[in-house]
Amino acid sequence: MSRPKVTVIGAGNVGATTAQRIAEAGLADVVLVDIVEGLPQGKALDLSESAPVVGHDCTIRGTNDYADTAGSDIVVVTSGLARQPGMSRDDLLAKNAGIVGSVVAQAAAVSPDAILIIVTNPLDAMCHVAIKASGFPRERVIGMAGILDSARFRTFIAWELGVSVTSTNAFVLGGHGDTMVPLPRYSTVAGIPLTHLLSPERIEALVDRTRNGGAEVVALLKSGSAYYAPAAAVAQMAGAILGDAKAVLPCAALLQGEYRTEGLFVGVPVKLGRKGIEQIVQIELTEAEQAAFDRSAAAVRELVDKLAAA
């Protein structure tokens, strides 16, 4: 049986690290694509030359030509611009929408059965661009955000309580950004809700740090944004899909009535398997939690409306 094929578009920090994780986990052969000539080829060559040391036989190929991506099982989209000095969020939105729309159309044309994993920010809005450009059903367009946000929350919970990160579970809903909705009562340590383990003040401090998790990394790096944790999250999604794991993970999905939301990509728990999103898992929210979810969805709606008006 031949190995699955995963295309990663954008050979920058997130893209190259994702390619590395997927290949080193033995999940799939990887095609790395970028608009810059030589960049994906150089990174793919370097990654290939680490394979004998790491001990895997997945191939990693770099290209600027979408023909090489044909027949991919998964296409990961990380291409885009980072916000530059003087560039407004809206400028970034329009620029990245152009990039994501163009790369998704080219990739979808040669891999019509692929599952798209979108990473480029602003994430939820870029998922809307991708579903439109591909014409794919909602099962096959998935945004990576919730795993990253909940991984950040889990890290801070583990540090706070001095326990293994593997004993923690965290639940984060909503859009990827300032309005994300961490749910402490569904976040646990070995099954014990966080609300039984920490004071409301300490929980609020951890929630706050989670909300600002991306910005905290940016402030330290000074140029560029996080990529190790985002790449790990994408690799987990790819593993769940290719292994048909039916793993329940928080991802951005197009809601069609679920969580009282219509026609918007927002982060919710989904079941991931070989068909992509196999189920949107609905959980009961309190009125306050639903209100926070609604505010988060409204922030996504605002960006999507801006895109439609552009």
**Per CB under 6 A, 230 contacts ligand APR:** yes
User: Among 167, 225, 279, 290, which residue interacts with ligand APR (rule: CB under 6 A)?
Assistant: 225
**Per CB under 6 A, 175 contacts ligand APR:** no
**Min separation Cβ 225 and ligand APR, Å:** 5
The single residue listed with the structure tokens 């895997």 is 56
For residues 2-21, which are near ligand APR according to CB under 6 A?
A: 9-15
**Min separation Cβ 86 and ligand APR, Å:** 17
Count of all residues that appear for the chain in the document: 310
User: Among 7, 69, 79, 296, which residue interacts with ligand APR (rule: CB under 6 A)?
Assistant: 79
**Min separation Cβ 110 and ligand APR, Å:** 15
Percent of the chain that is helix, strand, coil (3-state, to 5): 50, 20, 30
Collapse the DSSP code of 272 into the 3-class scheme (helix H, G, I; strand E, B; otherwise coil) and give the result: strand
Annotate 151-212 with DSSP letters as a single string: HHHHHHHHHHHT--GGGEE--EEB-SSTT-EE-GGG-EETTEEGGGTS-HHHHHHHHHHHHT
User: Among 51, 82, 109, 163, which residue interacts with ligand APR (rule: CB under 6 A)?
Assistant: 82
Other CB atoms closer than 10 Å to residue 303's CB: what's the count? 21
Collapse the DSSP code of 227 into the 3-class scheme (helix H, G, I; strand E, B; otherwise coil) and give the result: coil
Q: Is the dihedral of CA 101, 240, 192, 190 positive or negative?
A: negative
Report the DSSP beta bridge partners of residue 117. Answer: 76, 142
Residue 154: Cβ-neighbour burial (10 angstroms; 0-12, 13-18, 19+): buried
Of the candidates 68, 66, 48, the one whose C-alpha atom is nearest the C-alpha of residue 58 is: 48
Q: Please give the size of the binding site for ligand APR, defined by CB under 6 A.
A: 25
**Per CB under 6 A, 227 contacts ligand APR:** yes
Q: Of 40 and 276, which CB lies nearer to ligand APR in the complex structure?
A: 40
**Per CB under 6 A, 99 contacts ligand APR:** yes
| 176 carries an active-site annotation | yes
Encoded tokens for 167: 């004993």
Residues ≥6 apart with Cβ < 8 Å to 73? 4, 5, 6, 28, 113, 114, 115, 241, 242
**Per CB under 6 A, 105 contacts ligand APR:** no
Q: Of 166 and 223, which CB lies nearer to ligand APR in the complex structure?
A: 223
**Per CB under 6 A, 103 contacts ligand APR:** yes
**Per CB under 6 A, 34 contacts ligand APR:** yes
Q: Of 89 and 260, which CB lies nearer to ligand APR in the complex structure?
A: 89
Stretch that binds ligand APR, among 49-57, 78-86, 266-274, 275-283 (CB under 6 A): 78-86
Report the interface residues with ligand APR, using CB under 6 A.
9-15, 34-36, 39, 78-80, 82, 99, 102-103, 119-121, 224-225, 227, 230
Residue numbers annotated as active site: 176
